[in-house]
Chain A
């Protein structure tokens, strides 16, 4: 079963706009990670946020985590055409070593 569900499934924005995508999960977690995938290639790690953190920044990326709502959001500011990709959240449920990915948000940034 899918631990993480991303929302929206697809997002199309103009270059320069901000893109926000959300991830919801079902069980308690140790950490939540966001990954990026360009068209069928391997995933690239973007950012990790631990269960005791509420917000984290990395360059143009901002991630929030609300463990009470079991949700996280990824904000990409001032988007660029090169940000066009699919974005996935991944969680490791507390006490386990399995990793579960969501179904992903496909982002298109129009130049």
Chain B
């Protein structure tokens, strides 16, 4: 089954404790992206990746890191989480042929930073 998986689905952590949210897709998609969703603000793009070893900042990259060592995986790293990073996070992937086309979303990761 074609899908985007994220782990963990729920996470409670404390300020400053490094964490990684994993994202994996099995569709051989070139384009992958991370979003955060907050009430009243919709989805905002954190980072995106055009292909292996190619990443770029979205609209809200501060406090986040990403890497794309393999085509299928695109982990999101919070080196020193803060309470303002409490949010619902989505990973997405797309078969990009010149343009970003249909994105397939993961189920989301709810993060609470105390």
A residues apposed to B, CB below 8 Å: 1-2, 4, 30-31, 33, 35, 40-45, 48, 88, 90, 92, 97-104
Contact = CB atoms under 8 A, between A and B. Distances in A.
Contacts of A100: 45, 59
Nearest to B107: A42
A32 to B, nearest CB: 11
Given A42-B108, A88-B42, A103-B42, A48 B101 contact: yes
A88 B107 contact: no
Contacts of A30: 99-100
9 contacts: A43-B103, A44-B105, A45-B104, A88-B42, A88-B43, A97-B96, A98-B59, A99-B33, A99-B48
Nearest to B106: A42
B64 to A, nearest CB: 15
Contacts of A40: 88, 108, 110
A98 B99 contact: no
A98 B101 CA distance: 12
Contacts of A43: 43, 90, 92, 103, 105
Nearest to A5: B42
B44 A31 contact: no
Contacts of B12: none
B33 A48 contact: no
B37 to A, nearest CB: 8
A98 B58 contact: yes
Nearest to A31: B99
A41 B43 contact: no
B45 A98 contact: yes
B5 to A, nearest CB: 11
Contacts of B92: 43
